[in-house]
Amino acid sequence: MGAPVQPHSPNAPPLPTPVTAITFPLDSTRWYLLGQLEYYLSVQNMAQDLFLRRQMDAQGWIPISLIASFNRVKQITGGIDNGIVRDVLTLSTTVEINAVGDYVRMMGWEQFVLPDAKQSAISVDKLEHRVEVDSEDAKEDEEEEEDDVVFVMGS
């Protein structure tokens, strides 16, 4: 499948193509929106985009509504609602979205959080992480207990 025809904008640089491999047909709006969103949330961009890094909370979350308000995103989407931005972000393999669907963060976000970042309001993520860690600890405990089992053979 070839890349869709890029929306014409004489003053803007070319739109980036998506990093995520899409295995089904995608209209040109969503194709270029995915590329732009993945670029905004890429290591390449975060290394130089202090504004976006200042918007991150201590857990790397950025409001999707903020990204949807960027001029380049509005140019691609025609300014329609934030739903298309959220929907397209769900296609990406380079970001994650919180359970409610109003925040996004890049993979590898830890290295880009600023020291003075505000505390995260996304408590569900912390809870899910805690449960995950606890279940791993439980598996280790079970494995240790299995080592203590002694079989006695009668004569």
Which segment of 2-6, 25-29, 47-51, 145-149 scores lowest on mean pLDDT?
Answer: 2-6
Is residue 112 domain-resident? yes
Conformation bin of residue 143: beta by default, left when phi > 0, alpha when psi is -120 to 50: alpha
Mean pLDDT, to the nearest integer, of 123-146? Answer: 42
Is residue 153 domain-resident? no
Domain count, the chain: 1
* pLDDT for the residue numbered 82: 78
Is residue 21 domain-resident? no
Collapse the DSSP code of 103 into the 3-class scheme (helix H, G, I; strand E, B; otherwise coil) and give the result: strand
Is residue 6 domain-resident? no
Is residue 3 domain-resident? no
CA distance 119 to 58: 5
Per-residue model confidence as pLDDT tens digits over 11-48: 777 888 899 988 888 899 999 999 999 999 999 999 99
Is residue 22 domain-resident? no
For 41, the domain range is: 28-147
Indicate which CATH number applies to the domain containing 87: 1.10.10.10
Is residue 2 domain-resident? no
Confidence band (pLDDT; 50, 70, 90) for 5?
A: very low
Q: pTM for the whole thing?
A: 0.71
- DSSP letter at 106 equals E
Is residue 86 domain-resident? yes
* Mean pLDDT computed over every residue of the chain: 80
